Amino acid sequence: MTDSAETRLSSSSCAVCGRSTQAGFTRCSVSCDLASKIPLCDGGPLPASWPLGGALISAFILFNQLMFWSLFEVKRSQGEVELAGRFDLGSIIVGALWLIGALWAWGVSQPKRVGDAVIAFAALLAVLGPRFVFEEPLTISCLLFIANFLIACRLYRGSLVLWQSSKKKEK
């Protein structure tokens, strides 16, 4: 036998990328071995799904709202009123966009539990209520973040349950 024939007999192809592997191995490298452990969504080539993408984008927008609000508070305490106003406006715009997106998601999924409506009502009270209760009320951007955070806790509950169930399957 020639060397190329011996090589073909002693090697197989990688189950992930198709390259040749050593005899007895199904993967050609560590990266192919790691890639084989990533679950595929609906048999597609990527482990990502639309719900996962939506949750990540939503969390990113909520993080940006928190960042703009915290920068507003920092700049306001430093006396830079004009820059603080810009960060406050940015936080309000991002928060309003997130709230519209969350209400759209609720409208599409049509909430089936009373808790969903209670959280939405509590979020509205968080925005409107303190304006009438406190002598020096919180800023609108702060109240909007609190409301969005309450809604996010309820919306992301399903993602947390899915993640916990996937961890139970791994055991």
Rounded to a whole number, what is the largest CA-CA distance in the chain? 92
Q: Tokens for 167, please give them.
A: 């961890």
User: What percent of the chain is predicted at pLDDT more than 90?
Assistant: 22
In this model, does residue 107 exceed pLDDT 80? no
- Residue 124 sits at the vertex; the CA angle it makes with 120 and 127, to the nearest 5 degrees, is 140
Q: 12: which DSSP letter?
A: E
pLDDT, tens only, 28-52: 766 676 667 666 666 665 666 677 7
Q: What is the mean pLDDT of the chain?
A: 76
User: Which comes out higher in pLDDT, residue 19 or 161?
Assistant: 19
Strand-pairing partners, residue 22, are: 11
Global model pTM greater than 0.95: no
